[in-house]
Amino acid sequence: MKPANPAQAGWRADEWLAGEQARGPICVLSDLDGTLLEYADWPDEVLPSPRLIGMLNRLHDTLDGAFAIVSGRGMRSLDVLLRGFIGIRAALHGAEMRHPGLDLGEPAADLRPLSAGARRVLHDYLLTMPQLHLEDKGACAALHHDLPGPDADRVERELARLLAPNRELQVFQGRKIIEIRPSAANKGAAAQRILARPAFANRLPVCLGDDVTDIDLLDAVKAAGGVAIAVGPRLSAHADFCLPSVAAAVRWLSTLQAVQEIARREQDGT
């Protein structure tokens, strides 16, 4: 039985790094906030270190480009946050996708800005709940909060009821956030699209995520025969392994990059 405490399960993820799969051809898809970056009260307050960006770029190069960040952030926010990152970035839960300097074609989903009716519902509701802070992402929206669990559950139910006429929209609760997104925007579909790209072919997919928006990502990677890793306890039921924290996840990816680099040199005979 899988331990409930990710700190107890972390050794299993480290043990995997010592096995043959970690030395073979792999590709990596990772969430960002809560997985590689600590959460902040507001998304703009998050700032990755140059050291983290450097490690992600080394991993990208070692995997011959088979590395992608899949985030719920909008593309503009993601571009600012990941300035200097050379890999694929998927925004709005994978509905928008781009590689720096390379046009990946049409968006993954036919997304339009939230309708005037949906925006009016959110505007009116926010007037009654000043403790909620709106992040407008265009086709999606996020309500950031610091509410206790029962109050956040109530807000989620009320918004789901109020937005029910907008059948294409989903309302769900993450960590200190309530997301409103089109059903077409989900990280599982994004994972399938990314894994179909030539750079990711014939590789074992590995993914990391921490919150409910990452369940589709973890499930899609497992369905493709890959390895799903939960950061923190929330997604342990959906993961093969757990890591206890953001810092542990960053260290794990850094070690993976080193293992892959050594295997690559041995294969090349250098």
Q: List, for residues 67-123, the tens digit of each pLDDT value.
A: 999 999 988 888 889 999 999 999 998 888 888 655 554 455 566 788 899 999 999
At 104, is the secondary structure helix, strand, or coil?
coil
Same fold for the pair 6-11+24-107+185-265 and 116-182: no
Which one of 3.30.70.1020, 3.90.1170.20, 2.60.40.10, 3.40.50.300 gives the CATH number of domain 116-182?
3.30.70.1020
8 A C-beta contact, residue 144 and residue 180: no
Evaluate whether the domain defined by 6-11+24-107+185-265 bears CATH number 3.10.105.10: no
At 80, is the secondary structure helix, strand, or coil?
helix
What is the 8-class DSSP label of residue 136? E
Residue pLDDT, tens place only, 142-196: 898 888 889 999 999 999 999 998 888 889 888 888 989 887 788 999 999 999 9
What is the 8-class DSSP label of residue 176? T
Question: Is residue 7 predicted with pLDDT exceeding 80?
Answer: no
Domain boundaries, the chain: 6-11+24-107+185-265, 116-182
Query: Which alpha helices (H) appear in the chain, and where do they start and end?
Result: 6-17, 50-62, 75-81, 116-128, 149-162, 187-195, 215-223, 246-268
Question: Is residue 8 predicted with pLDDT exceeding 50?
Answer: no
φ, ψ (nearest 5 deg) of residue 209: -160, 165
Question: Is residue 35 predicted with pLDDT exceeding 60?
Answer: yes
Written as six digits, the tokens of 140 are 């999606």
Q: Which residues are catalytic?
A: 31
pLDDT grade for 10, boundaries at 50, 70 and 90: low
